[in-house]
A and B are shown apart, each in its own frame.
Chain A
């Protein structure tokens, strides 16, 4: 079965420290993988995607993610966290030519001053 998992419900990090939000996938074929961010009472905003090519992809607001095929992971990273990065983060995946996106359960990122 196709699925995307986010093993951490919550990640706490101090401002200025690097952050990582984890995502693993079980999607057959070549996966398309995405990260979205959701601020309180708002819809989801697209951050970045991996389709093909370089395993390290860069996105909005200084975020990047590394696609690792052998570990079936697509972790979201940022070198230096900001308090304003505090939000709910979702990983999502789909298979090429299929129309269903699979979302992880979400990870709440808390960045403390």
Chain B
């Protein structure tokens, strides 16, 4: 299993540009989520999904869109990048079955908006 994969690993955008961060998992997990990590602030939840076709907002959803058309993929779209979106972005997934409630994280995407 590859686990949770994210592309790209690094990205530099200019203010106002749009882009999509890709996330995929091969563990057949129902739940997927996006976090951003900023120094001294831990991880903050952006959006999450409990299954294909179902998404919901987290703590900091503004400026980001998501969709979940398949179980495997959960892309995060930045509509019009702003310097405040400079951060490291992590995708995570977990199963809803049994007691394995822990999340599995991808390696992250480091995004810089100039």
A residues bordering B, Cβ < 8 Å? 6, 9, 32, 34, 36, 41-46, 49, 51, 90, 92, 94, 99-101, 103-106
Asked if residues B41 and A49 are in contact (CB atoms below 8 Å), the reply is no
Residues of A within 8 A of B75 (CB): none
Band of interface residues on B? 20 to 34
List 5 contacting pairs A-B, 8 Å CB cutoff, sorted by A.
A34-B102, A45-B105, A99-B31, A103-B43, A104-B42
- Contact for A100 among B41, B42, B58, B104, CB less than 8 A: B58
B107 in the interface (beta carbon within 8 A): yes
* Cβ distance B69 to chain A, nearest Cβ, rounded Å: 19
Chain A residues positioned under 8 Å from B56 (CB to CB): 99
Contacts of A9 in B (CB 8 A): 40
**B101 touching A43, Cβ below 8 Å:** no
B49 nearest in chain A by CB position: A99
Q: Which of B4, B31, B90, B103 has the most CB of A within 10 A?
A: B103
The 8 A CB mask of B85-114 against A (1 = contact, 0 = none) is: 000001010000001011111111000000
Nearest CB in chain B: distance from A42 CB, A = 6
Q: Would you call B27 an interface residue if the criterion is a C-beta within 8 Å of the partner chain's C-beta atoms?
A: no
- B42 & A106 in contact (Cβ 8 Å cutoff): yes
Q: Which residues of chain B are near A100, meaning CB under 8 Å? A: 45, 48, 58-59
A46 touches B104 (CB 8 A): yes
What is the distance, in angstroms, from A7's C-beta to the closest C-beta of chain B?
13
Report A-chain residues with C-beta under 8 Å of the C-beta of B33.
101
Docked pose: A34 CA to B31 CA in angstroms: 17
